[in-house]
Chain A
Amino acid sequence: MIDIKDVEYMAGLARLELNTEEKKKFQKDLGSVLEFVEKLKRLDVEGIEPTTVGAESANVMRADEPRSKYDSETVKKMLEQLPDRKDDFVKVKSILNKN
């Protein structure tokens, strides 16, 4: 089971807003998934190294040189997809509260 307070807190961390009905539904759904994964607690993982990547890999290095990945045409297309902009800048709501 997961507490409804936990659902609210996690949703907040994930920048999701849930209404009362959704909170109840998600509490039930997440509870059933957590109950499902509970089985993992029976597994003895003492001394086992975690697998953190999809394949054995080494760090990949390249020279630290400035390079432009996108030409100006592509950049223009990206700017056109901004929900809100002023000239070539992303426009956002104020980040600091004015007091």
Chain B
Amino acid sequence: MGMNLKTLTIKDVQDLIAKKEISPAELHGQFLDLIKKQDEKLHAYLSLNEDTPGDLPDGELHGIPLAIKDNICVEGLSATAGSKILKNHRAVYDATVIKKLKKAGAFFLGKTNLDEFAMGSSTENSAFGPTKNPHDHARVPGGSSGGSAAAVAAGLAVAALGSDTGGSIRQPASFCGVVGLKPTYGRVSRYGLIALASSLDQIGPLTKNVYDAALLLNILSGRDEMDSTTARQLEHDFTAHLDKPIKGLKVAMPKEYFGEGLDGAVNNLIERAIAGLESLGAHVDQVSLPHSPFALETYYLIMPSEASANLARFDGIRYGFSKQGGNILDTYLKSRSEGFGDETRRRIILGTYALSAGYYDAYYLRAQKARTLIRQDFEKVFEKFDVIVGPTTPTTAFKIGEKKGPVSMYLSDIYTVPVNLAGLPAISVPCGFIDNLPTTNYQLPTTKLPVGLQIIGKKFDEETILRVAYNFEQAK
């Protein structure tokens, strides 16, 4: 059989299964063998699902092997969220997205690595060690869904799920050279996702191509009574109009996304990609999102505030890591101090500070007002334009250990964070590679690092961003 496991897309697997060339059980076995051989160095997976799939439902995803970020609950599998405090935790129920995927016939290869509680941009904050970038093992895969992005990029899963609070699907997709989609807030149920910041979190797919992302969104989306923030929405086939031409489409290029901090080589590739959209007939114009220079600051008050509340449930009493003290307060203090890593504790304390009496108005309330201004910037642009395009990240993947101090790490999310604050959908689609410059003078560049183009859409208009991404991908 001349099948290359590593390059399989969802459509390829569907064809192979339809032709009876392989069974889901065989696929499971072959993928697990491959992962066991190749993931030791990469560390994309935190745990594997050894259960051979039995009789899977005959749905749209029958027999599709997926990887799931380890902050999404799959009954019976680990759900560590990358934290020591949940090291031995096993999910006792399925997240709504998992229920939907199971019903569609998919099965799960394992759970993927992430920054602790999805707090980070590199997976270096995982309590279980970092994941490596498949394009260069000295570099990070991005984060926080770094394990999912690396697994898909290295061919150790056909597709994967991640979660995106400030860029955690799109940034690792960009760093690893895969497609990553963050749906509109309210498109996909968050029930069964271990919460980071509840007004920003969304689950979405990481895939090898745009078609697969659209197909997975078909399954994932929908109103869920277990998540009252999900919107009422009609069933929709996001794959139906992917190949509709983009001639005449109005594309906005925000000048703030092309300023200081953007790597020159990344800039060149993004400009070339946008010229590509023009040659497909799109009208491109420069616009301004005047409050976007305040987006990271706004995000780094709102997200830790929500996180400090969400993470209060990890108390050493109900589940997870527990360190018993002399009284109940001691048990809380010891369990939380030993169970949480540095970045998590930093954000909990920062959030507590921003919400506390005396600082609430100056920090949290001010940030919520800034959030309104950031959202309105997008609304104004979308009165005249169909999509907004720019780089997903200011640079290509950085080196493991390169970013010292929290703020330098945060800057990696400068173009992705505003989208979450505004609740909009966005996709990162690969748009080329730049040379991975040698670290010593006598070494020839042997590897290249991927760059992602970010396409941002109107609320609930995933169809258009997927169509632009698909047209771009096919024209490349």
Residues in A lying within 8 Å of B, measured CB to CB: 2, 6-7, 10-11, 13-18, 26, 29-30, 32-34, 36-37, 39-41, 43, 45, 48-55, 57, 60, 62, 70, 74, 77-78, 81-84, 90, 92-95, 97
Contacts and interface: CB of A to CB of B under 8 A. Distances in A.
A81 B317 contact: no
Interface residues of B, number: 73
17 contacts: A13-B352, A15-B312, A15-B332, A15-B336, A26-B345, A29-B406, A32-B405, A32-B407, A36-B407, A37-B300, A48-B373, A55-B184, A77-B92, A78-B319, A81-B319, A90-B318, A93-B330
A16 B353 CA distance: 13
B350 interface: yes
A49 to B, nearest CB: 6
Nearest 9 interchain pairs by C-beta: A83-B322, A50-B368, A45-B369, A60-B228, A54-B185, A54-B199, A17-B333, A51-B371, A55-B186
Interface of B: 89-90, 92-93, 184-186, 198-200, 225, 228-229, 231, 291, 293-294, 296-298, 300-301, 308, 312, 315-322, 324-334, 336-337, 340, 345-346, 348-350, 352-353, 356, 362-363, 365-373, 375, 405-407, 410, 421, 423, 459
Contact of A43 (B340, B373, B375): B373
Nearest to B200: A54
Nearest to A6: B353
B356 A74 contact: no
A15 B315 CA distance: 9
Given A10-B353, A54-B423, A94-B327, A40 B366 contact: yes
Nearest to A94: B327
A89 to B, nearest CB: 12
A50 B328 contact: no
Nearest to B202: A54
Contacts of A32: 405-407
Contacts of A95: 327-328
Contacts of A36: 296-297, 300, 407, 410
B192 to A, nearest CB: 12
Contacts of A6: 353
Given A37-B363, A43-B373, A52-B368, A92 B423 contact: no
Given A26-B346, A51-B368, A51-B372, 16 more contacts: A13-B356, A16-B345, A29-B406, A34-B350, A37-B363, A43-B294, A45-B370, A52-B368, A54-B198, A55-B459, A77-B90, A78-B319, A92-B317, A92-B328, A92-B331, A93-B324
Given A40-B297, A83-B316, A14 B352 contact: yes
Given A16-B348, A39-B297, A30 B337 contact: no
A33 B407 CA distance: 6
Nearest to B301: A37
B350 A33 contact: yes
Contacts of B362: 41
A52 B199 contact: yes
Contacts of B90: 77, 81
B92 A40 contact: no
A68 to B, nearest CB: 13
Nearest to A28: B405
Contact of A39 (B228, B294, B308, B322): B294
A17 B333 CA distance: 6
Nearest to A30: B350
Nearest to A61: B228
Given A36-B300, A50-B372, A92-B317, A14 B308 contact: yes
Nearest to B298: A40
A53 B366 contact: no
Contacts of B231: 55
Contacts of A30: 346, 349-350, 353
Contacts of A18: 337, 345
A23 B336 CA distance: 15
Nearest to B326: A93
Contacts of A15: 312, 315, 329, 332-333, 336
A37 to B, nearest CB: 4
A24 B76 CA distance: 41
Given A51-B375, A57-B229, A93-B331, A83 B320 contact: yes
A52 B368 CA distance: 6
Nearest to B293: A39
